[in-house]
Amino acid sequence: MARRIAVVTGGGRGIGAAVAVRLGRDGFAVAVVDLTVDAGAATVAAIEAAGGTAISVGADVRDAEQVEAAVAEVAERLGPPTVLVNNAGILRDNLLFKMTDDDWDSVIGVHLRGAFLMTRAVQRYQTEQRYGRIVNLSSTSALGNRGQSNYATAKAGLQGFTKTLAIELGKFGVTANAIAPGFIETEMTAATAERVGIPFEDFKAGAAAAIPVGRIGQPEDVAAVAAFLVSEEAGFVSGQVIYVAGGPRD
């Protein structure tokens, strides 16, 4: 297999960084896309320190021109990208009656518009190569979560987006799947704890008590599933939503 080129959005930290590092370890050349080149620098350094190949590319995934330029830069510097992990995301949590227009638009913009723009740009290379893997990061919040009507809507939308991509792109050798993490220890979950006024350690302990496997998740748990979904062996898995939550979800 020729070296595959993978693009990971929101790869500067958290789940995105863990996925990027794992793919670099697995032999992919990785383009870490984040708001700025500096935001992805630490992830690139970690991949290179382990002997991998990576570049950092700055782009706001909500901006069509920036996305097109970023993907073109990846193709020029690394080669045609055939693997895309749409991970970029933000939180603007609030109860519905307190939620502002900007709270709604920002979250929908990054998660849904961002995934759409990135996928539209990358699928051009995938269909030309007759091969591709797309992984979209959803969430258990897609099932509904108090204070997250914007986030839950975006994550549920990504699941429908994923299933449609699987139908449209399958004939070109492209699979599309979604990962829906449960409680994962990241800066975003720390921010949620702060929002609800609970010390993060207590927040994590409470979450672990409700998870069948008895612990909270780590970014590497999600990265392991992503690594399978983008592999050659996963070619008959498409249109699926895989909950990485330490227990069953409906």
Question: Nearest Cα to 137, choosing from 117, 122, 154, 120?
Answer: 154
pLDDT digits (tens, 9 = 90+) for 88-103: 999 999 999 999 999 9
Residue 157 falls within a domain, yes or no?
A: yes
- CATH number (domain holding residue 19): 3.40.50.720
Residue numbers of the chain with a pLDDT score lower than 50 = 1
Number of structural domains the chain divides into:
1
Domain holding 108, by residue range, is 5-182+217-242
The single residue listed with the structure tokens 């070296």 is 3
Q: How far is CA 20 from CA 9, 149, 169, 210, in A?
A: 9, 29, 24, 29
Task: Specify whether the CB–CB gap between 47 and 30 falls below 8 A.
Answer: yes
Task: Specify whether the CB–CB gap between 134 and 179 falls below 8 A.
Answer: no
Residue 198 falls within a domain, yes or no?
A: no
Residue 189 falls within a domain, yes or no?
A: no
pLDDT at 27: 97
Residue 212 falls within a domain, yes or no?
A: no
Residue 27 falls within a domain, yes or no?
A: yes
Helices (H), 170-218: 187-196, 200-209
Residue 204 falls within a domain, yes or no?
A: no
pLDDT at 2: 61
Residue 197 falls within a domain, yes or no?
A: no
Instruction: Count the Cβ atoms, other than its own, within 10 Å of residue 113.
Output: 17
pTM of the model: 0.97
pLDDT at 192: 86
Residue 195 falls within a domain, yes or no?
A: no
Query: Which residues belong to the active site?
Result: 151
